[in-house]
Every structure is written in C-alpha cells, then in structure tokens.
Amino acid sequence: MILYFSGTGNSRFIAEGLNKICDDELINLKDLMKNGGTGELHSDKPFVFVLPIHAFRIPGKISEFIETIKFTGSSDAYFIVDCGGSPGNALKYIKNTCKKVNLQLKGFDAINMPASYIVMYNPPDVNSEAVHDSLVYQKSQIERIGRDINEGKEFFNRPSDFKGKIQSSILNPIFVKMMIKTKDFAVSDKCVKCGSCVLRCPLNNVFFNGKPEWGDNCMHCMACLSGCPSNAIEYGNKTVGRNRYYLLKHYGDVN
Ligand SMILES: Cc1cc2nc3c(=O)[nH]c(=O)nc-3n(C[C@H](O)[C@H](O)[C@H](O)COP(=O)(O)O)c2cc1C
Ligand code: SF4
Ligand code: SF4
C-alpha cells in the first residue's frame, strides 16, 4: 500500500510513479485525515509512505496522524520523502513513528523536487523547462526506488551529517513555533468562491463564510494558497508576485 500526503503535488507525483512500478494500492492520506481518520489499514505488501519534508522532518501533523492508525498484514515500511534540498535528519524521527505503530522500517530515501514553499522564497514556474527537466531526472530515481521496494531490498540513503542533525532537532521546533501561523492568510477580490481551498485543506482549517477564512490548525502545506485556481490567496506581502508552484501533471504525462 502506497500512502502519500502532498501539499503542492510533488509527493503525489512520486507516489504515482512508485505505484506504477509497484502496482499497488494508492491512498491519499489527506482524504483519510479530512474524514476524521481510519482505525485500521491492511496490506499484504509493505506500507510505502511518500511525504514532503517540512523543516527537516516529515510534518508533525502527518506523523501524529500516522500514529493513530493500526497497520495490519505486512509489518514492513518504506519512507520516501521529498524536499527542496535537505531532509536534515528526518530519518531519526521516522524511526520513532515506526516504533510507535509497530512497523519495521526497511528503507528510507529522499528525492529532491522543485522547492515549493512560497512563504519563504519564490518557487520556480511549474510550467518551466527547468521544472520539466527536474521531473524527468527524478523519474529515474523513482524507478530505482520502486524496483528496490519490489525486490524487498533494505536501503537507507541520504544519511544525515552534523548540520542535518541540528536542523531537525533545533531548527524544526523553532520553525513550527515561529513560522506556522495563519493570521497572514488573506483573500483578494480575484476569489471566484469556487471552494477549492476548503476542499484541499487536509486539516479542515479553511472555512467558507461568504469568502474563505482560516482557523489556527495549520501545517503550512500551501495546498490552499498554491492550489487556488485564481491566485487569490496571499500570505501577508510575502507571496505577492511569487510563482504558485502547484504540480498538476501526472507521472505518466512527463517524458
Ligand atoms: C512548511 C514547509 C517547510 C519546508 N521545509 C523544507 C526543508 O526543511 N527542507 C527542504 O529541503 N525543503 C523544505 N520544504 C520544501 C518541500 O519539502 C518540497 O517543496 C516538497 O517537495 C513539497 O512536497 P509536496 O508538493 O508534496 O507538498 C518545505 C516546504 C514547506 C511547505
Ligand atoms: S480556491 Fe481561490 S478562488 Fe476558490 S474559493 Fe478559495 S480563494 Fe476563492
Ligand atoms: S490552511 Fe492551507 S496551508 Fe494550512 S493546512 Fe490547510 S491547506 Fe495547508
């Protein structure tokens, strides 16, 4: 079973690729989260998690959610993360999560994807040649990982250095406390009231009150802001004029 969470489409793209190679069941964790969770998930094949890196770990809200699930059938797990450049020492925290849900971690890898955190920098144009070339290159990495999973191999790639350990242990909690706020989300008159932002939020944190409004339960996945088809959502003045990176292309469409 391949379980993914994706704010801006990168992890979904990787999960689709792994699923093509592993010929397995593809589950979007967002749907489970939105619907209040699932008691138990059964798979006779390994559980393969595909998740973005947020502040040098997998998002806390996602690991908390995974820890509510009872996994039955296979006890093997693979974690494939994707990031703009550095996964830090995410592996250490993934091992803790696996222990809590009685899964045996058999593999870890990190794939570099176009960095999409619009609040911190200007992401690349999703339709650019550079993004296309990056996706084509990463398809070969995804195929390699998929083959290794199919063969039941153990692999632990992208080991952390000292800097990564500091990033994940010290910077992550500071980031979560200081950066993950919602008061700066605002909607402009470009909003066509389509409601997509409400549907996209995994935490049901966007409410429609004549126009979208944000509660406090957020992980800054950027699904609402970057996925808005009218580019009507801003985060203070940080996102003004920046590219909305929201990958809609499917794995099979990129050659
Ligand atoms: C809140 C947040 C924090 C992020 N922190 C990191 C990070 O620590 N290291 C990194 O390389 N990329 C970081 N990124 C970039 C994402 O990991 C990258 O864009 C990822 O591919 C997004 O996956 P998704 O499109 O499936 O959501 C961050 C993105 C977000 C939204
Ligand atoms: S997704 Fe954009 S256009 Fe649609 S309701 Fe939300 S803010 Fe408005
Ligand atoms: S409010 Fe937006 S950024 Fe926050 S969790 Fe929901 S979709 Fe993600």
pLDDT digits (tens, 9 = 90+) for 46-61: 999 999 999 999 999 9
Bridge-based pairing of strands 104-112 and 76-83 is: parallel
Ligand with an atom nearest the CA of residue 234? 2
pLDDT at position 245 is 98
pLDDT band at 37 (very low <50, low <70, confident <90, very high): confident
SS3 (DSSP) at 149: helix
Sheet holding 26-28, edge to edge: 26-28, 2-4, 47-52, 76-83, 104-112, 155-156
pLDDT band at 133 (very low <50, low <70, confident <90, very high): very high
pLDDT value at 122 more than 90: yes
pLDDT at position 36 is 86
Instruction: Assess whether the C-beta atom of 52 lies below 6 angstroms from ligand 1.
Output: yes
Domains of the chain: 2-171 (3.40.50), 181-235 (3.30.70.20)
How far is the centre of ligand 3, averaged over its atoms, from the C-alpha of 200 (Å)? 8
Bridge-based pairing of strands 2-4 and 40-43 is: unpaired
Burial class (CB in 10 A: 0-12, 13-18, 19+), 24: buried
Q: Which ligand 3 atom is nearest residue 215's CA?
A: 1
Ligand with an atom nearest the CA of residue 55? 1
Mean pLDDT score of the chain, rounded to an integer? 97
Tell me: the pLDDT tens digits for 153-183?
999 999 999 999 999 999 999 999 999 999 9
Q: What is the mean pLDDT of residues 87-108?
A: 98
pLDDT value at 108 more than 90: yes
Query: How many Cβ atoms are within 10 Å of 130's Cβ, its own excluded?
Result: 10
Instruction: Assess whether the C-beta atom of 172 lies below 6 angstroms from ligand 1.
Output: no
Instruction: Assess whether the C-beta atom of 194 lies below 6 angstroms from ligand 2.
Output: yes
Interatomic CA distance for residues 218 and 80, integer angstroms: 23
Tell me: the pLDDT tens digits for 228-255?
999 999 999 999 999 999 999 999 999 9
pLDDT value at 39 more than 90: no
Instruction: Assess whether the C-beta atom of 232 lies below 6 angstroms from ligand 2.
Output: yes
Ligand with an atom nearest the CA of residue 124? 1
Instruction: Assess whether the C-beta atom of 201 lies below 6 angstroms from ligand 2.
Output: no
Instruction: Assess whether the C-beta atom of 196 lies below 6 angstroms from ligand 2.
Output: yes
- Of 62, 79, 116, best ligand 1 pocket probe by most atoms within 8 Å of the beta carbon: 116
